[in-house]
Chains A and B, each alone.
Chain A
Amino acid sequence: MQHTFLDRYGDIDSLIHRLDPRTRIVTFTLALLIVVSVPPGDLIPFLLFYPFICILVMLSRVPFAYILRRCAVITPFALMAAGMMMLTGGTDQAPMRNAVIDARTGAAISIMLKAYAAVILLTLLTSTGRFHRLLEGMRALRMPPLLGVLSAFMYRYAFILSDEVMRTSRARLSRTPGSLRVGRFRTYGNQAATVFLRSWERSQTVYNAMCARGFTGEFPLTSDLRLGGGDMLFMVLVPAMFLVGRLMV
């Protein structure tokens, strides 16, 4: 089946796609940390953050329309948070540097700006290479071993199970079209249970097959992860740009 949730733009040839996955992980995580560390109500840094982000999107050649669709995913949550800040937020927010808007409104706007900037950076991290390379990069960066091995298993079987979900969803929709009703708990429950059950059974079969082929509990890393001069430059330059924005007064 067609999987639209993974690696859609992973094969584009761009400056960022050519970077080592470790470079992308470190760079975008640092940029993310700098962006989210902006105090609520401080809007000035975003005057630099967003142009930087636009430059990164253009360099990555990932379509803006796709980025906007990913932003739409967090809109309800971001709106809820901003709404709460405006309606019931604390009165101890930092005073605004301009008098046009009050502190709560400023804090609400900065929350929205931070959330969207963060989701764009996260989208860039995952859309500028194949996902399995990203996981390899994380393992090479010494992520906890249990997390690494679980990720490797999950990645292998997420596709199989997504196929299963699509198949069972199609079957469910053909039998029970329309919106959710209380009486349909059983239908959704049976669908989820079927997915779980098949996964459970396959886990044993696949694990036995892996053991028969000499699986020792570890997934070896490919050896073609290399950090070049360009990687180092990107890893220093991009976070430095965001840091300049963060320190802007």
Chain B
Amino acid sequence: MHIADGIIATEICVVADVVSVGALYAFGRRTRPDDIPRMGFVGAALFAVSLIHFPLAGTSVHLGLIGIAGILLGIRAFPVILTALLFQSLILQHGGLITLGLNSINMGAGALLAWGAWRMPRVPTGVRAFTAGFLGIMLPAFLMALEFEITGYGRGAFFILSIYAIVAVIEGGLCLSIVNYFQKVKPELLEAR
């Protein structure tokens, strides 16, 4: 999911970097000073949970929790995801530095869609939570496939979507259990923003 440097055309990456800086200002514009520590902590949590790996189909997958970031932070998830991706890129080499903007747009869009799914009216909480987790992975995967197609990799990337669909179902399940846990322990978190 984290696109490494050198994979996607540089022109696309540079445009995405510029767009992501614009999005950082747009989505972070109304951030209050007392929101910052909480955003920083959620960003650190996103970085920390990416250290939790679990085995899947002979390989290892780490938790993403893009959906949860969207549920907890709303539009402020974008600056947090950008910062967490910067850390993952520099420290863990998950994704590149030139592709930081591209990865941020992909995953930030996933978080925003997850937020939208979470705010759907008249839908049971469990369905909203699962959908948020699922879409938080599927939209970034779809955007990634689109970027591969534009760069000239052909339609092969769209077949990879089927693998990401499995990961998205897992994330949906995880998102559902996290939301259930929050509802029992600290329900006010889910009412934020």
Contact = CB atoms under 8 A, between A and B. Distances in A.
A81 B92 contact: no
A240 interface: no
Contact of B43 (A92, A153, A169): A153
Interface string B128-172: 000000000000000000001000111111001000000000100
Given A32-B5, A35-B5, A197-B181, 5 more contacts: A150-B40, A153-B37, A165-B49, A180-B56, A196-B178
Interface residues of B, number: 75
B36 A149 contact: yes
B98 interface: yes
Contact of B83 (A36, A125, A151, A188): A151
Contact of B47 (A92, A144, A146, A158): A158
A125 B25 contact: no
A150 B55 contact: no
B84 interface: yes
Q: Describe B's contact surface by its main secondary structure.
A: helix
A36 B39 contact: no
A78 B4 contact: yes
Interface in A67-121: 70, 73-74, 76-78, 80-81, 83-85, 87-90, 92-93, 107, 111, 113-115, 117-119
Interface string A130-147: 010010000000001011
B7 A88 contact: no
B111 interface: no
Contacts, number: 247
B39 A150 contact: yes
Interface of B: 2-7, 10, 13, 21, 24-25, 28, 31, 33-34, 36-45, 47-49, 51-52, 54-56, 59, 63, 65, 68, 72, 79-80, 82-84, 86-87, 89-94, 96-98, 148, 152-157, 160, 170, 173-178, 180-182, 185-186, 189
Contacts of A190: 177-178, 181
Interface residues of A, number: 84
A114 B25 CA distance: 31
Contacts of A81: 7, 148, 153
A113 to B, nearest CB: 8
A185 B83 contact: no
18 contacts: A70-B93, A81-B153, A84-B154, A84-B160, A85-B152, A118-B4, A118-B96, A147-B82, A151-B86, A153-B44, A165-B49, A179-B54, A180-B55, A189-B180, A192-B178, A196-B45, A204-B38, A210-B37
